[in-house]
Amino acid sequence: MKDMKESSATDDGKLSSYLEFRTSKLVEAKDGMQDSVFAVFLVNLTSKIRIWSALHMSGNLQIIKEILGSNSMAEEICKFCPPQDDNTCVEQLGHRLSLVLDESQAAAVLSSISVALCNHKSSIKLIWGPPGTGKTKTLTILLYALLSKSCRTLACAPTNVAVKEMALRVLKLVKDPYHMDPGQDDLLCSLGDLLLFGSRNRLEVFDDLEEIYLDYRVDRLVECFAPKKSWKKCFKATIKFLEDCVVQYRLLENESAGEAQTNVNNDSTPEVPISFPGFIKDRYSAVVSPLKRCVSDLCAHLPKRLLLQHNFESMVRLLNLLDSFGSLLSENGVNGEEIERHFTHGEVSASYHKYESEAYTSSTSAKLYKIINECIDALRSLCHSLSDVLPESMNRSLVWQFCFQSASLIFCTASSSYTLHRVEMDPLKLLVIDEAAQLRECESVIPLQLKGIRHAILIGDECQLSATVASKVSDDAGFGRSLFERLSFLGHSKHLLNIQYRMHPKISAFPNANFYQNRILNAPSVLCKKYERRYLQGPMFGPYSFISSSDGRDELDNVAHSRKNMVEVAITLKIVRKLFRAWDRAREKLTIGIISPYAAQVAAIQEKLGHKYEKLEYFAVRVKSIDGFQGGEEDIIIISTVRSNSEGSIGFLSNLQRTNVALTRARRCLWILGDEKTLLRSRSCWSALVSDAKDQHCLFNAGKDEDLNKAVLKAKKELDQLDDLLNGGSILFKTAKWKVLFSDNFRKSFMRLKSSQTQKSIINLLLKLSNGWIPKKVDSVCGNSLQLVKQFKVGRLYVIAAVDIAKYKSYVQVLKIWDILPLEEIPKLVKRLDSIFSMYTDDFINRCKAKDADG
């Protein structure tokens, strides 16, 4: 891409972009064709090209053969390596791990380290981490432990988000290791051992993460190794300043005296001569500040094992001395004559011991003099010892390569690891892949083909979402299958993390039984009573609830690409508002996640939600698709399933992996919104979930909550969908005293009404009638001999109703709504009803007329 100004024909000064691109065939100019053409971006092919290239490589066939070979599953323990119990370093590490990990987590880390330390055979290990079992924590400590063993490791993941999270957690542990090992510091590693590379924007590199980011590190080290101002020249310049500061000051003084004499001869105002302490302060800023910056960068961006421990400690001590030097210069008690007298005895360091015991009149001057001598000793020693381990200068290209060579733990996406194939460096030994079940098998070949990779550790869960594949043909062909999934299918042993720390036991029960064969245990922390929270009153809002609503329409969005259900949107927003009111009284931290399988539903909820809750400190609401929420967790999760139809069609909601992800994001409360009947008819895991909720007495009708009932009615009014409520199973009538039946004629007449106000009035009348309301004056329809038909006036129209008998669990009286008619059309309907009633038996008629004291 090249930016250049437009031709002089346009003098607006704007910039235009010129892009050079390749085409599959020549684009020929034809008659009538405009000068400008349009290019439409379709897809980024970078990852696909890298995969294709990696599949044709033969850089590291040893581990590939191990994966493909039959022995890879038969013999997992190397017969040449000492048993784990006899391995002292592993045994010592095991004691420390027991302080921060549970038994299955610690065993996974120890067995992985034993594999990594083996030099006799290649191997691949799977760590199976179901939701909430501490997979990320286990991975972090594993990488930290490998770092302490100086095992050169590449840590990959399918996405930049996963790589960033992995790098941040390891970085935090490196900076503050005492969480893992209180009172111990022998596992401390400098940041120079860590290296992160990839797209800065996609990784969102800010703050702490910048310290280990490749481009930032190269920028900092280039300054340290630049030929004109290298680290060695900074050291020598500072030594010269500290040793010859008096001589330099005398030269400046003589120069100033000459200028002063010239000014006197010219009748100019002479400049005030600078004092010796003032001279030292100025030179400190000019000489010592660059040195401090250089030493700090070397300490931060080079590993201790390269610098050597004693050099690293000397550099830290030097920085402290230079800081003390600067602080003392700023004090008022510095005696210039006294300092100058001591600096005039030749070489400062040589005169140090001679004057060390003298009683100075100024204690500040004494401290300053002592620090200067210590600085000179430290600088000379470091200058000599660092010359043995560091080059004096390097250009940017060499620094870039040096960063890869010196790092022990490198973070990047699997696709970005393609860059390492062209880096000249000592080979990496171990490959660790996080979220391995989401990484396409063919893409995992990119890092596996790196020269030197002897072992691979895959961490993931094939029961959660796999890689996204847009093409159905490719998906059907297994393009999205991961190496983790394939090895699991072939029976490769997996180390299971078997204790979950996230979910309330009522939430974890169904996923554990249906996806993990009840192999996951609940941690004591989630079993204790105080883990349960009651954010809202009523059994509907307990730890685990299915809230049924069949009143929504399952409809396509404007572009027919996704689905939404506006009634579920209304219910979701009402629940969030109820939660906010409850939170506002207590002000305790609360996080809410709203997830749905459909992008259109996510967009509809986000639009209605707006920015209302964005700036609250302890109340957070996140709205995402199920796919976008994998790996996340919140205190409360509200799932909107969207689908509502008579066929039981639920589309890709039936995907078991997607269902598992949705059901395992909540810590304390999981509330599922859906159409009970649709999901039961689906013959999927969702029908099992609805049945389970019913068995656990956790299935509730949304209409039983007055606020939710009002929200549904309001939504249907706004959407002009009140006719959807004209069935006995709707939210309006599901809990009414009377069962209500509607004739087809009534529905047709209702839909023909042009006035929404009239529709609302009719709905309100029916609500009152269904709940036992009896008007003071009820008109029997004239001409109705059996007196079963009643008419109720609504504006200029009349609702025609009658008591009927219907069979449910037993025969019960029901309120049958026949039609809405103007007064002049009622006789015609009555005549038709009379002919129907004439076929009823006397017993049937008497049962219709029977009255109950409850109304």
Regarding whether 96 and 157 lie in a shared domain, the answer is yes
- Assigned domain for 815 exists: yes
Regarding whether 250 and 118 lie in a shared domain, the answer is no
Sign of CA dihedral 839, 844, 846, 848: negative
User: Rounded to whole angstroms, how far apart are CA atoms 348 and 327?
Assistant: 20
**Domain carrying residue 457:** 77-212+408-499
What residue has token string 């529905």?
Answer: 747
Regarding whether 376 and 433 lie in a shared domain, the answer is no
Predicted local distance difference test score (pLDDT) of residue 774: 81
Regarding whether 613 and 487 lie in a shared domain, the answer is no
Mean pLDDT of 24-41: 71
Pairing assessment for the beta strands 15-18 and 2-5 based on DSSP bridges = antiparallel
Whether the per-residue pLDDT at 42 is higher than 90: the answer is no
pLDDT confidence of 208, banded at 50, 70, 90?
A: confident
Q: Which residues pair with 432 in a beta bridge?
A: 155, 457
User: Rounded to whole angstroms, how far apart are CA atoms 472 and 690?
Assistant: 30
Domain count of the chain? Answer: 4
- Assigned domain for 696 exists: yes
Whether the per-residue pLDDT at 361 is higher than 50: the answer is no
High-pLDDT (> 70) share of the chain, %: 84
Higher pLDDT, 315 or 722: 315
Higher pLDDT, 82 or 545: 545
Please list, in sequence order, all residues whose beta carbon lies within 8 angstroms of the beta carbon of residue 302, skipping any fewer than 6 positions away. 190, 192, 221, 390, 406
pLDDT confidence of 822, banded at 50, 70, 90?
A: very high
- Assigned domain for 402 exists: no
Mean pLDDT of 107-114: 92
Quote the tokens at residue 199: 């797209």
Higher pLDDT, 852 or 547: 547
467: left (phi over 0), alpha (psi -120 to 50) or beta: beta
Higher pLDDT, 42 or 647: 647
Predicted local distance difference test score (pLDDT) of residue 283: 79
Quote the tokens at residue 514: 């249906």
DSSP 181: S
What residue has token string 């939170």?
Answer: 583
What residue has token string 């594949």?
Answer: 469
User: Rounded to whole angstroms, how far apart are CA atoms 74 and 702?
Assistant: 54
Q: Are 559 and 696 in contact (CB under 8 A)?
A: no
High-pLDDT (> 90) share of the chain, %: 47
Mean pLDDT of 738-758: 88
Regarding whether 559 and 693 lie in a shared domain, the answer is yes
What is the chain's mean pLDDT, rounded? 84
Whether the per-residue pLDDT at 835 is higher than 90: the answer is no
**Element at 813 (helix H, strand E):** strand 811-822
User: Rounded to whole angstroms, how far apart are CA atoms 760 and 794?
Assistant: 10
Strands (E), 443-522: 455-460, 494-496, 499-500, 521-522
- Assigned domain for 517 exists: no
Quote the tokens at residue 167: 């790098």
Higher pLDDT, 719 or 467: 467
Regarding whether 460 and 349 lie in a shared domain, the answer is no
Predicted local distance difference test score (pLDDT) of residue 359: 45
User: Rounded to whole angstroms, how far apart are CA atoms 612 and 331?
Assistant: 53
688: left (phi over 0), alpha (psi -120 to 50) or beta: alpha
**Residue 584's CATH number:** 3.40.50.300
Whether the per-residue pLDDT at 828 is higher than 70: the answer is yes
Angle at 553 between CA 552 and CA 556, to 5 degrees: 140
- Assigned domain for 710 exists: yes
Distances (CA, A) of 248 to 244, 254, 348, 366, 371: 6, 10, 14, 21, 20
Mean pLDDT of 581-604: 94
Listed in sequence order, the DSSP H helices in 543-639 are: 566-586, 599-609, 626-629
Predicted local distance difference test score (pLDDT) of residue 686: 96
What residue has token string 């973070």?
Answer: 411
- Assigned domain for 16 exists: no
Mean pLDDT of 805-813: 84
Q: Are 640 and 608 in contact (CB under 8 A)?
A: no
Please list, in sequence order, all residues whose beta carbon lies within 8 angstroms of the beta carbon of residue 639, skipping any fewer than 6 positions away. 595, 596, 662, 663, 670, 671, 672, 673, 674
Per residue in 237-264, pLDDT (tens digit) is: 988 888 877 777 777 767 766 555 565 5
- Assigned domain for 22 exists: no
Phi first, then psi: give them for residue 808, nearest 5 degrees: -120, -115
Whether the per-residue pLDDT at 109 is higher than 80: the answer is yes
Please list, in sequence order, all residues whose beta carbon lies within 8 angstroms of the beta carbon of residue 376, skipping any fewer than 6 positions away. 239, 242, 243, 348, 349
Q: Are 565 and 554 in contact (CB under 8 A)?
A: yes
Mean pLDDT of 537-563: 89
Whether the per-residue pLDDT at 409 is higher than 90: the answer is yes
Helices 214-225, 289-301: axis angle to 10 degrees equals: 130
Regarding whether 466 and 537 lie in a shared domain, the answer is no
Per residue in 296-317, pLDDT (tens digit) is: 999 999 998 888 889 998 999 9
Strands (E), 117-205: 123-128, 153-157, 194-196
Phi first, then psi: give them for residue 98, nearest 5 degrees: -65, -15
Higher pLDDT, 131 or 751: 131
User: Rounded to whole angstroms, how far apart are CA atoms 802 and 780?
Assistant: 10
Regarding whether 234 and 190 lie in a shared domain, the answer is no
User: Rounded to whole angstroms, how far apart are CA atoms 667 and 664?
Assistant: 8
- Assigned domain for 855 exists: no
Quote the tokens at residue 550: 């069949």
Regarding whether 606 and 676 lie in a shared domain, the answer is yes
Predicted local distance difference test score (pLDDT) of residue 186: 44
Predicted local distance difference test score (pLDDT) of residue 635: 97
User: Rounded to whole angstroms, how far apart are CA atoms 676 and 674?
Assistant: 6
Whether the per-residue pLDDT at 13 is higher than 90: the answer is no
Q: Which of 143-157, 270-284, 505-519, 626-640 has the lowest mean pLDDT?
A: 270-284
What is the b/e burial string over 182-213, where b = at least 16 CB atoms within 10 angstroms of the residue's CB? Answer: eeeeebebbbbbbbbbbeeeebebeeebebbb
Regarding whether 429 and 339 lie in a shared domain, the answer is no
Phi first, then psi: give them for residue 813, nearest 5 degrees: -70, 140
